[in-house]
Structure 1
Amino acid sequence: MHRHVTYIFNHQGHLSRPRCATERSHYLNSPMLYAKITMFESGAKTVVFMCMCFVVVNTEDSITETHEVVMNAKYDFRFKWRIDEDNIFIEMSANTLGYVAIGFSPNGGMPGSDIVVGWVRNGQSYLSDRHAITYSKPEADTTGDYTLLYGHEDGGRTRIGFKRALNTCDDKDNIINADTIRVIWAVNSIDPEDSDDIMYHNTSRGVRSIIILDSQQTNFTFPKDYNYFEGFMPNVTVPDNSDTTYWCYSFAVPTFENPVHIFRAETIVQEGHESLVHHLLVYSCRSMNMNWSSNCFSPNMPTDLRNCDRLVYGWAIGAEPLNFPEHVGISLGKENDPTVYFIELHYDNPGLSPDFHDNSGVRFYYTSTLRQYEAGVWQFGELVSPFQAIPPKEQLFKTFGICYGDCTRQALDVNINGFFVFLHSHLAGRQMKLQHYRNGHLIEDVGRDDNYDFNLQDARVLQPERVFKPGDDFVVTCGYNTADRDSITKGGLGTKDEMCVAYIYYYPKQSNAGACQSVPDLNEFNSAFNIECDTAECIYARLSEMDPTLVREGLHNVSYNGKRNNYCRDLDYNNIPGVEFYKDFPAWFGENDRIEDQNDVCSPTGVTGSSISIMPPGSIMLIMLFLARTVILTMK
């Protein structure tokens, strides 16, 4: 049996062993020496090779970043990154001549954060790998998992480039995965004297939620023949008698001499209204009712607008513009294409301010160079309904929206390719996932976020594209935290109500793929609580009189086990015939179903029958200075 294990002696004489199965090179912050020992075990002999090496900082000037986020406007702190297989290349820069720092945080605070600090001093660049235990100076890691690539100071700005593995296998580092990641940042105007002299940042710090994996690239290239049209709310006076308002507005789609394809959609929020505009949906239809503006629940809404249900675009707080792949677009200008776009905008006004007059809206970019496929949007999850019920004082209570295979058989004429997924819940949402099943077996997590942030709801790129077939099943699972609530949280349109929905952007467009959703049946509440009600209002009135423990247990049974109402709808939101309405909770589904990664980069490599004695730092340095290569044969 042959084994090899690599150990690293750093410049301080400490021995460390990489925790990943693959060998990693450790770059120091300046040209220094390190010793690398590789042990080969074969039978009774152990052969140790030790090499003397100089490590020089890479002289690159920049990384070829594909993503960029402005963390802070005052310092123009920019976080750029690029994913390359199992590694992430990062550049952090800010208007300072001191240090810049970022950290990957579990919750937006310092404790538990994986932090890296970089600076340039006297023309030499430095990088320090650290971790925070409390709200104090972060401690230095015993293993260096960040590789410094370059550092520059120019025009009052510091720029540091480095790389690391997505999973460093260091328990002091946080894994970078598809979850929403809270990235903390800090700057200081003074360079540290050394790596132990990291000074307090005072108030020059902050946090931003970022989707690092599966996010859209920021270096988008526009076609040469692009143009755009837009629609904005007509100076809507946001009502001050409710914290939640849904306002609707219709505007005309331009008339085109020849068909065009939309390739980009963008929401433009009026400056100063970032906390007011929560989310919006844009629907399409054929109508003569242009420029209609009113509360979405107005009884005076024209009938054809009330039936304007073909979803084109969705946006929520924190989302970036939606850029379609080069082979996909949304069609306009053909004979049966829509003449009207219809905005449904959710205003969140918890302070009941009478001073909001809003002109936010949307912009659609199009090209006359038609693309290969026409896109559609398919909605999944739990029907927005008060029969979604979440008990109070819960750390993580789950509800489920199931799309049954008998619906997808009717909705799809052919296999489709999904290229974006969009997950949406409200304030209590903490986890979300859309899972894809076939013949009772989990295929994959189409979209998953175990660290969901209500304030960052953006489309995630499906790369490679996913193939969905007629007869496939889907489940949207949402986990909610209601520890600070005293009453049941219901499904509904308000910000303090909840939703559990997901959208897939796909091609080729299907006429029957509008929505595939479910919700617990009313009679499941009657059975679970031994009551007789025929409305949600009656149910919640009765539950308010019951012991909270019994309410919790009953709602758990309703959510996890009960029969469900199955809603299968076409693009015009009509129920598709031939689909069973009452469905059992699926036996093939388990709430903890997950496809495990078989490529465990952190599996330990054992060292059997061998011992390593750690020499004093001085001895190591003497050996490194005088020996270029030493071969030691040790007999057992």
Structure 2
Amino acid sequence: MMLFLLITLASIHSGWSQRDSSMDINLARNAVHTIPLGSEVTFHWRVDLMNKQVIAEVHFVGNDSSWFAIGFSDYGELKPADYCVLWSDWHQQIHFQDSWADVDGKLHLDTQQDCDSFAWRRRGNITKFTFSRKFDTCDEHDYIIERGTTHLVWLRGRGPLSSLAGLEISDAKASGMSRTELHRVSHKKPKFPANAWQLELLAHRVQVPKKETTYWCRVHKLPSALRQKHHILQFGPAIQAGNEHLVHHMEIFHCAGPVDLEVPMYDGPCDGADRPEKTQICKKVLAAWAMGADAFIYPEEAGLAIGGADFNPHVMLEVHYNNPELHQGAIDSSGIRFILTKTLRKYDAGVIELGLEYTDKMAIPPQQEAFMLSGHCITECTGVGLPQSGIRIFGSQLHTHLTGTKVITRHIRNGEELPPMNYDNHYSTHFQEIRLLPKPVVILPGDSLITTCTYNTMKRDNVTLGGFAISDEMCVNYIHYYPNAQLEVCKSAISDDALKTYFRYMREWESQGTSTEKGISANYKSIEWTKVRVEALHDLYEAAPLGMQCNSSDGSRLPGLWNNIAATPVRLPLSPPIRDCLGTSIQQEISVQM
């Protein structure tokens, strides 16, 4: 790939409309990953782990003098943001420059140029350009590309320009944002048995509404072949051609009820008034895909069990359509494609829920920029719930609701913190997928796992409580692993006794309106949240004893004392990662001296 880029660069001369087809940039054909950024913009990329960089190619529709900026921001905002800008001057000379937008939306040329290996082509009204970008450039104005969600932002405007000086975000005639997992590890192509077969669970000719966000649900009944237990080996998207920019993410939920329970074959908006109540049992995630994601491939030793004599045959497809350009008339029949086999692998894969209980015992005060809550899977629970040889975690799906901005699951063994099992420093509830880990993580009996979520409630005037509603909050990590163990839920909340003591303290010492006559939610809502009280609540959650959910797959508690139990201590925390910026600092000093 790099050799091809070097050849392309060597062939480029000044001028905007070079048309040598033999030298056409063709990264897209060999790209590992592709994501549409809109109906007229596509982003292709691959990850170069050896050189710690991303190699990207952008295709966009525009006239000869259009300027185009592609970049990154923390949560999809156009300002502030980090951009690489392609533009032409009135001499039709092409420029490609590293810049950044300040909080007011004004673009500034970066003193350290890090949009490298630039090459471009134009054919008709389509421009293609390619560039490389280091994961960490050690530039204070540059975004650090890391594991987890990346928010890609783009701008397109009219040219020609004399320079980038004075250019503002508001000058763009079109713009957009898409989320993807940019920094990812490619896995080897799987080998499937000869009797493997495909099952597609699709929407049926949905007329995508002319509005930005639509969630569409369709219940399916699985084919009779799945009366026999199978293993899922892989799942991925089956997107109707031409609708790649509309299908934002999709999930398949199992309707986990008695095997003979009939679930209505609903096909309509997920929040439709006519959606049957019985479809509400369709909540257990079997598959989740988001725009730009690869197919999810199970390890060679394991598969996810589906079907069998005791398996309810109903599942529900949920499709999130994202239509910010308000296109009209699109008809869609996209969905999820599974690869299955009746030849069972050595292990059944399993899913364990980590994090916080779905309860109002945990609260997030209003007007908080970064309030953290932690859910614990303690030593005692993994000790009784996991096999002596441990389990191997290969996938993870992080989950919060609307105010979650960061999630991390820390791994503790014998008091020592090991590398994090999974994390996302730019988390968005609108981009949830089951992600393969870079390499499997072994969890042994006695290990503990701490899942910490960070929330931003700056736009809320009252306390946010834990719960099931989208306006409530959650903090969960669904870990995918093998071999299947008896442990299925390992989550915590503050103990009931500690919470009662807290509310009594707030009434007696802080003169707040809490009362033993009120429920938990009402008590939290009775508190006036000053800065001191917010800090006190955080300290309480960090120090208070826990109430644990240490449950098996049938919902029963595993043997043990799970109330008023201490969190597993972390005696040796993991040191913060060290950035390799020494060489960059020396180069900057030399540049300044010159």
TM over 0.5, shorter chain: yes
Match of 2:444 among 456, 460, 469: 469
Q: Report the alpha carbon displacement of residue 219 of structure 1 after superposing the two structures with TM.
A: 9.7
- Tell me if the contact between 1:401 and 1:517 (Cα under 8 Å) persists in the aligned partners: yes
- Contact 1:285–1:339 (Cα < 8 Å) also in 2: yes
SS in 1 for 2:102: coil
Relative distance call for 1:393 and 1:68 in structure 2 (3 A) is same
- Distance (whole Å) between structure 2 residues aligned to residue 196 and residue 343 of structure 1: 52
Higher relative contact order (CA 8 A, sep 6+): 1
Counterpart CA distance in 2 for 1:133 and 1:555 is: 35
1:68 Cα offset (Å): 1.2
Describe the shift of the 1:529–1:158 C-alpha distance in structure 2 as closer, same or farther (beyond 3 A): same
> Closer, same or farther in 2 for the Cα pair 1:316/1:216, shift >3 Å?
same
Counterpart contact for 2:408–2:424, Cα < 8 Å: yes
Alignment of 1:87-236 (within 5 A): 87-96=53-62, 97=64, 98-118=66-86, 126-135=95-104, 138-188=107-157, 190=159, 192=161, 202-214=172-184, 226-229=196-199
Match of 2:463 in 1: 488
Residues 285, 340 of structure 1: 8 Å contact kept: no
Q: In 1, distance between residues paired with 2:92 and 2:483?
A: 55
Structure-2 separation of matches of 1:536 and 1:585: 29
How many residue pairs get matched?
536
Equivalent position of 1:514 in the other structure: 488
- Asked if the contact 2:497/2:564 (under 8 Å) is kept, the reply is no
- 1:603–1:372 distance in 2 versus 1, CA, 3 Å: farther
Deviations 1:415-462 (A, max 9, x none): 222111111001111221111111111112112122222221223321
* Deviation string, structure 1 residues 232-253 (Cα, Å, up to 9, x no partner): 79999xxxxxxxx999968345
Q: Kindly indicate whether the alpha-carbon contact (under 8 Å) linking 1:180 and 1:452 is maintained by their aligned counterparts in 2.
A: yes
Q: Report the more deviating stretch, 466-475 or 104-113.
A: 104-113
The one-letter code sitting in structure 2 at the alignment partner of 1:175 is I
Name the residue aligned to 1:587: 569
Amino acid at match of 1:416: I
User: What's the counterpart of residue 15 of structure 2?
Assistant: none
State the AA in 2 paired with 1:72.
Answer: G
| Contact residue 88 and residue 161 of structure 2 kept, 8 A | no
Counterpart selection for 2:435 from 447, 452, 460: 460
* Residue 530 of structure 1, CA deviation: 1.2
In structure 2, the partner of 1:503 is 478
Report the equivalent of 2:555: 573
CA distance in 1, matches of 2:226, 2:36: 37
Q: Letter of the aligned partner of 1:324 in structure 2?
A: I
Secondary structure of the equivalent of 1:78? strand
Partners of 1:546 and 1:198 in 2: CA distance = 47
What is the aligned partner in structure 2 of residue 548 from structure 1?
529
For 1:314 and 1:323, the matched residues in 2 are separated by 9
Instruction: Output one character per residue of 1:284-341: Cα deviation in whole Å (capped at 9) or x when no partner.
Output: 5761224357999x99969xx97x99x5525487685751145155355786673535
Q: Which amino acid letter does the alignment assign opposite residue 68 of structure 2?
A: V
Gaps of 5+ in 2: 1-5, 13-22, 207-214, 322-331, 508-513
Q: Secondary structure at the match of 2:380?
A: helix
* Match of residue 3 from structure 1: none
2:259 to 282, 287, 291: 287
Rate the CA distance shift 1:173–1:336 in 2: closer, same or farther, 3 A: same
User: Offset at 1:183?
Assistant: 1.6
- More deviation in 190-199 or 464-473? 190-199
Match of 1:419 in 2: 394
The answer as to whether partners of 1:250 and 1:341 remain within 8 angstroms in 2 is: yes
Letter in 2 for 1:600: D
Counterpart secondary structure, 2:553: coil
How much does 1:181 deviate?
A: 2.5
Moved more, 463-472 or 547-556: 547-556
Aligned-pair distance for 1:137? 5.3
1:120–1:158 contact (8 Å) kept in structure 2: no
SS state of the match for residue 498, structure 2?
helix
| 2:311 alignment counterpart | 338
For 1:599 and 1:108, how far apart are their aligned partners in 2? 24
Could you tell me how far 1:227 is from its partner in structure 2? 3.3
Which residue of 364, 368, 371 maps to 2:338? 364
Deviates more, 1:383-392 or 1:315-324: 315-324
- Residue aligning to 2:210: none
CA distance in 1, matches of 2:130, 2:295: 28
- 2:566 corresponds to which letter in structure 1? D
Amino acid at match of 1:556: H
Residue 61 (structure 1) aligned with residue 43 (structure 2)? no
Match of 1:251 in 2: 221
| Residues 577, 496 of structure 1: alpha-carbon distance in 2 compared, 3 angstrom cutoff | same
Percent identity, aligned pairs only? 23
Contact 2:368–2:455 (CA<8 Å) still a contact in 1? yes
Q: Is the 8 A contact 2:249 2:291 kept in 1?
A: no
Task: Assess if the C-alpha contact under 8 Å between 1:181 and 1:212 holds in 2.
Answer: yes
Distance 1:347-1:77 versus aligned 2 partners, 3 A rule: closer
The C-alpha deviation readout for 1:27-86, integer Å capped at 9, x for no partner, is 998899xxxxxxxxxxxxxxxxxxxxxxxxxx783334211110011x133343333331
* Residues 1:561 and 2:543 aligned together: yes
Q: What is the CA distance between 1:523 and its match in structure 2?
A: 1.8
Structure 1 residue ranges without an equivalent (≥5): 1-25, 33-58, 237-244, 349-357, 615-636
User: What is the identity, as a one-letter code, of the residue corresponding to 2:109?
Assistant: A
**Are the equivalent residues in 2 in contact too, given 1:378–1:513 (CA < 8 A)?**
yes
Task: Check the 8 A contact 1:232/1:361 in 2, yes or no.
Answer: yes
Q: CA shift at 1:598, angstroms?
A: 4.4
The answer to whether the 8 A contact 2:465-2:521 is kept is: no
Moved more, 227-236 or 135-144: 227-236
Secondary structure class of the residue paired with 2:225? coil
Distance in 2 (CA, whole Å) between partners of 1:552 and 1:543 is 12
Paired residue secondary structure (1:379): strand
RMSD: 4.9
Q: What CA distance in whole angstroms lies between the structure 2 residues aligned with 1:199 and 1:361?
A: 40
Matches of 1:536 and 1:144 in 2, distance apart?
63
Contact 2:148–2:426 (CA<8 Å) still a contact in 1? yes
Go from structure 1 to structure 2 and tell me whether the alpha carbon gap of 1:345 and 1:516 turns closer, same or farther (over 3 Å shift): farther
Contact 2:37–2:177 (CA under 8 A) maintained in structure 1 = yes
Larger radius of gyration: 1
CA–CA separation in structure 1 for the residues paired with 2:364 and 2:440: 34
Kindly report which structure 2 residues correspond to 1:20-35, keeping only aligned pairs within 5 A, or say none: none
Amino acid at match of 1:539: I
Question: Quick check: 2:47–2:185 contact (8 Å CA) kept in 1?
Answer: no
Contact 2:302 2:482 in 1 (8 A): no
Q: Tell me how far 1:172 sits from its aligned partner.
A: 2.5
The alignment status of 1:597 with 2:561, answered yes or no, reads: no
CA contact (8 A) 2:247 2:319 kept: no
User: How far, CA to CA, are the matches of 2:289 and 2:533 in structure 1?
Assistant: 32
Q: CA deviation at 1:495?
A: 0.8
1:70-109 alpha-carbon deviations (Å, 9 max, x no partner): 0011x13334333333111111111224343201123433
Higher fraction of helix: 2
Q: Distance in 2 between matches of 1:372 and 1:60?
A: 47
Q: Which residue of 2 aligns with 1:53?
A: none
Superposition map of 1:360-399 within 5 A: 364-367=338-341, 371=345, 373-399=347-373
Cα shift at 1:474: 0.3
Distance 1:570 1:105 in 2: 41
Q: Distance in 1 between matches of 2:163 and 2:536?
A: 60
Q: Distance in 2 between matches of 1:138 and 1:109?
A: 14
Residue 318 to residue 62, structure 1, CA distance change in 2 (3 Å)? closer
Amino acid at match of 2:576: E
Match of 2:492, SS?
Answer: strand
Q: TM-score, normalised by structure 2?
A: 0.75
Alpha-carbon separation, structure 1, partners of 2:247 and 2:307:
38
